[in-house]
Copies of this chain bind each other. A is one copy, B any other.
Amino acid sequence: MAGSPLADQALAGEGLRKIHYSERIMPTLSALASRFASEKPFDGMTVAACLHVTAETAVLARVLRAGGARVALAASNPLSTQDDIAAALSSCEGVQVFAEAGADVGTYYSHIARAAEAGPDLVIDDGGDLVSTLHEASPDRMPIGGCESTATGVLRLRRMMAEGALRFPVIAASDTPAKRLVDDTHGTGQSVLDGLIRASGILLAGKTVVVAGFGTCGTGIAECARGLGARVVVTEVDPVRALDAALRGFRVLPLADAAPLGEVFITATGSADVITAEHMTLMRDGAILANAGHFDVEIDVRGLEDLAAVAEYHVRRHADAYELPDGRRLLLLAEGRVVNLVAAGGHPPEVMDLAFGIEALSLAWLARNAEKLLADVYPVPPDIDAEAARLMLTALGAGIDTLTEAQRAYLASWHTWR
């Protein structure tokens, strides 16, 4: 492969095997592969992508290729690059890969530059580096549109927009109703419990688990913990969310009241300093602290270190014990960093299947509609989110109904009635 001189082609066989396996467990993308193979939405187009070079991304790349695109893929993070995947993917006709595990910063940006040089009609970005490079490097040849996968990247785009710099429409694919269900509530719910069990080894049945925060993530964590037999106490700052928790049968308490009760504490608030040293002084001997929030600021780890007479690191993998002056010990998992990514396998493949499904559909929509759009940041069109949900439902063996014309008419009249 002329385009991928960097990868060790000897690894391609192993990489292909992983990609084939991932195709089996990513049914949304697999369905799109079939659809795109007949519809060819990207016929004659080039898609440049800057993404983690993993099996899941390879499945996406092949879906785009099936849709007629030439694909140029650069790594969005050299630490996540899997060389066997890079090799396998670059052996596919029409796909170029610029990626090397552990590449240095210079190499990283040169890879992105090479993807930009492909002259893409459409782009998928993960953090904003590809879009930024395109604006700087080839200001006279812009793509017709793109997708951004992360909240951070969307922020960069909005800043570009505010400065009048953005020159093509980009869909912010980081947050949709379907993604919130699959990623936040169920993906995070299961994987946080998974990380907790792996890092602590404990049996959840009968334990008191305090979940701080009852947003889309906290809801999933609380329900999964209850589903494994734990008694769950929820803490919240928002009365309506708290009422939701209470009416679902969870005990709802201020954290200071929950502190002496909990055997496990999990933060999922998005806020900072949720569990403070003051709370820690109230806790039972052996209490376990874990954070499920994106940033490692929810548990006051520095406060814990100040409080502790002795800290024993790595009493288990991903578990450190802190002994308070009175002999009680608290167990901190994953150093207070996001426990499902650190101590468990991270997001289940279903999460990436849906997320990439939304991005693939968004690109196909852009291929048809980009010329009607301004250079701006757009939300995912609701129809695309619905379509991705529908594909996931099909994969789960589920089906839905369609409103009849008469029902549409009734609902329209009823809405004015309301």
Contact = CB atoms under 8 A, between A and B. Distances in A.
Interface of A: 17-18, 21, 24-25, 151-152, 154-155, 177-178, 181-182, 185-187, 189-190, 193-194, 197-198, 201-208, 223-224, 226-231, 235-240, 242-244, 246-255, 257, 261, 270-274, 285-286, 297, 312, 315-316, 321, 329, 345, 348-351, 385-387, 389-390, 392-393, 396-404, 406-407, 410-411, 414, 416-418
B202 A270 contact: no
B182 A243 contact: yes
Contacts of A21: 315-316, 321
B202 A393 contact: no
A187 B190 CA distance: 18
A400 B239 contact: yes
A109 B297 CA distance: 54
Contacts of A242: 389, 393, 398, 400
Q: Give 9 closest A-B pairs by Cβ, nearest first.
A: A227-B227, A203-B348, A252-B398, A239-B389, A186-B205, A203-B350, A272-B410, A205-B247, A239-B390
Contacts of A235: 400-401
A402 B410 CA distance: 45
B231 A203 contact: no
B247 A177 contact: no
**In this complex, which of A24, A186, A400, A417 has the most chain B Cβ atoms within 10 angstroms of its Cβ?**
A400
Given A252-B393, A285-B24, A321-B21, A203 B181 contact: no
A251 B404 contact: no
Contacts of A208: 396-397
Given A237-B400, A239-B390, A270 B385 contact: no
Nearest to A154: B418
A224 B223 CA distance: 11
Nearest to A392: B243
Contacts of A237: 400-403
Given A181-B240, A205-B186, A251-B231, A315 B18 contact: yes
A359 B21 CA distance: 47
Contacts of A349: 201-203
A329 B271 CA distance: 43
Nearest to A316: B21
19 contacts: A17-B315, A154-B418, A155-B418, A178-B243, A181-B244, A190-B197, A190-B205, A198-B198, A201-B348, A203-B351, A224-B227, A230-B249, A242-B398, A253-B399, A261-B397, A271-B403, A272-B406, A272-B407, A272-B410
A21 B396 CA distance: 38
Nearest to A383: B239
A55 to B, nearest CB: 10
Nearest to A354: B243
